[in-house]
Amino acid sequence: MGGLILHLGASVTCSHGGPAVPTVPYSRVTLQGHPVVTVAAPYEIAHCNLPAPAEALRCTGGQWLQGSTRVFAGGRALVLDSSPSMCVPNGAVMLVLECQTRVNAV
């Protein structure tokens, strides 16, 4: 499964539209001047739009479950736009809306 590599400037949201930002990007490798994101970096999600009756289940964080298998940064797999993910506490997925388009990985 190949895909585009995510970086700090990529636009990522939870399934409900809440913006997601990596908490620990890998700054020793950059794409277009932005640090890349490895699968070890948890995401922080703010302003999840899950409806009020389910307010206790609003997304607060997310984690990528799988990344690149042949390209690594600091010994860790890179997050690809096709990587599976899961949000906490409800198990929803994170969506990649926009990312760099020049570098692919497998």
pLDDT over threshold 80, residue 1: no
| C-alpha separations of 74 from 26, 29, 95 in Å | 8, 9, 25
pLDDT digits (tens, 9 = 90+) for 13-53: 999 999 999 999 999 999 999 999 999 999 999 999 988 78
CB 5 within 8 A of CB 103: yes
Domain ranges of the chain: 3-105
The reported pTM is 0.91
pLDDT digits (tens, 9 = 90+) for 53-104: 878 899 999 999 999 999 999 999 999 999 999 999 999 999 999 999 999 9
| C-alpha separations of 80 from 1, 7, 50, 69 in Å | 9, 9, 25, 10
Could you name the CATH architecture of 3-105? Sandwich (2.60)
Please state the separation of Cα 102 from the chain's center in Å: 18
